[in-house]
Amino acid sequence: MKRALAFVFVLISLAALAAPSGPPDQTSPDGSRYWGGLRFNQPHGKGTLVTRDRDVYEGQFVDGQFTGYGRMSGYDGAVYEGEFRQWLFEGQGRLRLPNGDEYQGGFQRGVYEGQGTLKYASPRADGRTQETGVWHQGRLETLAEQQGRLEKDAADRERFALNVETALYRQRPLLDAALAAIEPSQRGRINLYLLAVAGDGSQEVFRREVEFVRAQFDRDFGTRGRSLLLVNSRNTAGSAPMATVTTIREAIKTIAARMDRDNDILFLFLTSHGAKDHEFRLNQNAMALRGLRPQELARILEQSRIRWKVVVVSACYSGGFVEPLKSESTMVITAAHADRTSFGCADENDFTYFGRAFFKEALPASGSFFEAFTKAQALVGEWEKKDKTPEAERSLPQVYSPLPIAEQLKRWWAQARR
């Protein structure tokens, strides 16, 4: 039994299967070879990876991670076929160990979890040929252990619910404090106000992105005291205002009250996941939040009576925001066409792909937001071409920049650079 579980706790090494014919699509510095789809120079889609130790992964890759349904076959004879999540067994699958034992059932983080059956290649000393039941963290539980764990899980859920309630209780004073800190317009100049929204708290990339943008704008574009973050994150639920439709509306309303609405400029940056119906996702862990639709954002901005606006939406299908937000006094920039996805939404990333191209790479070396967009658009195109992204899947970032807002931005930019 211990010998069998040792192979599960440590991600089993894979046997050397015959490599696909033809040269690999990618060879890594460590000697591993990969045949299959690529996106932004990472395995993406159906493919086969042979590691330097002759281990083989066959199946689905997502942004460099082995995720979905696949097969792993080990040099030592171990074979697993089933569901994966970021290289680990996760979900339902079948594992055959080198000694001939075979487990079929649930897995979590690479170990037996949930209902499953372990069949022994040779009978145990007591005559047992298999063990069936509920497994937890790689071990078959007794009925008493199951009951104890269920009671503990219920208590943990109750404590978590209380933590969520505490976070919600703190939200009003957190939002009030953030709104109160917004400074009024400075007379005699065009002031830029920044509102940056990290919509999906399930992945930290969005939080990191808006934090970078705020620091960049406060340092380079004079928004210190006139910048505000609304963030959904597992790390800030009790310490920062969350991003909801209501908080976005209140933030825009408050900024409008502090600024010169006929002269100052609002820079609104939204980053999150997006849906095919163009809804911008708002999600805080364990809280079901209503998403923001383009038409609703258009109404919020219209009601604010803020004349000059730059709206940047970094999300899949974000091109759906262009048409509803169109006006002569509004520049709209999106990470993707209305029918295309954008890329880079991984928990460990510091930026989405468009966010990196626009804010980190292009903007510091540009003389306008429009110029930064054109550079970022070219960068994204180069990256997608290099990584063999099919034409039909390329993101196609969009911009709408009519002359009146372009002229107002030109006046502000000249002032900001003095």
Q: What is the pLDDT of residues 339-360, one digit of tens each?
A: 998 887 777 889 999 999 999 9
What is the pLDDT at residue 42? Answer: 83
pLDDT digits (tens, 9 = 90+) for 21-31: 678 888 888 78
Name the band, by pLDDT with cuts 50, 70 and 90, for residue 14. Answer: very low
Name the band, by pLDDT with cuts 50, 70 and 90, for residue 164. Answer: low
- Is 60 exceeded by the pLDDT of residue 6? no
Q: Count Cβ atoms below 10 Å from residue 308 Cβ, excluding itself.
A: 23
**Closest-CA residue to 225 (of 249, 253, 194):** 194
> Is the fold of 2-143 the same as that of 165-416?
no
What is the pLDDT at residue 289? Answer: 85
Contacts of 310 (CB under 8 A, 6+ apart): 265, 266, 267, 268, 330, 331, 333, 369, 405, 409
- Is 70 exceeded by the pLDDT of residue 228? yes
CA distance 199 to 232: 6
Top CATH class of 2-143 equals mainly beta
What is the pLDDT at residue 97? Answer: 93
pLDDT digits (tens, 9 = 90+) for 85-142: 888 899 999 999 999 999 999 999 889 999 999 999 999 999 999 999 999 888 898 8
Between 155 and 353, name the one with better pLDDT: 353
Predicted structure pTM score: 0.66
What is the pLDDT at residue 159? Answer: 58
Secondary structure of the chain: what % helix, strand, coil (to 5)? 35, 30, 40
Q: Which of 26-40, 248-262, 278-292 has the highest mean pLDDT?
A: 248-262
- Is 50 exceeded by the pLDDT of residue 16? no
Between 65 and 237, name the one with better pLDDT: 65
Q: What is the mean pLDDT of residues 267-296?
A: 91
On average, the pLDDT of the chain sits at 88
- Is 70 exceeded by the pLDDT of residue 211? yes
What is the pLDDT at residue 112? Answer: 93
CA distances from 69 to 45, 85, 103, 158 (A): 11, 9, 17, 34
- Is 60 exceeded by the pLDDT of residue 15? no
- The end-to-end CA distance of the chain, in Å, is 73
CATH number of 165-416: 3.40.50.1460
Between 41 and 184, name the one with better pLDDT: 184
Match 């910048």 to its residue by tokens: 227
Question: Where do the domains of the chain lie?
Answer: 2-143, 165-416
Residue 319 contacts residue 337 (beta carbons within 8 Å): yes
pLDDT > 70: percent of the chain: 92
Q: Count Cβ atoms below 10 Å from residue 276 Cβ, excluding itself.
A: 11
Query: If you count them, how many residues does the chain have?
Result: 418
Contacts 24+ apart (CB under 8 A), 181-189: 181/225, 181/228, 182/225, 182/226, 182/228, 182/254, 182/255, 182/258, 183/225, 183/226, 183/258, 184/258, 184/259, 185/258, 185/259, 185/260, 185/263, 185/264, 187/260, 189/415
CA distance 66 to 69: 9
- Is 70 exceeded by the pLDDT of residue 278? yes
Helices marked H in 305-366: 322-325, 353-355
What is the pLDDT at residue 398? Answer: 97
pLDDT digits (tens, 9 = 90+) for 352-408: 999 999 999 999 999 999 999 999 999 999 988 887 778 888 899 999 999 999 999
What is the pLDDT at residue 369? Answer: 97
What is the pLDDT at residue 286? Answer: 67
Name the band, by pLDDT with cuts 50, 70 and 90, for residue 418. Answer: low
Q: Lowest mean pLDDT: which of 12-21, 195-204, 345-354?
A: 12-21
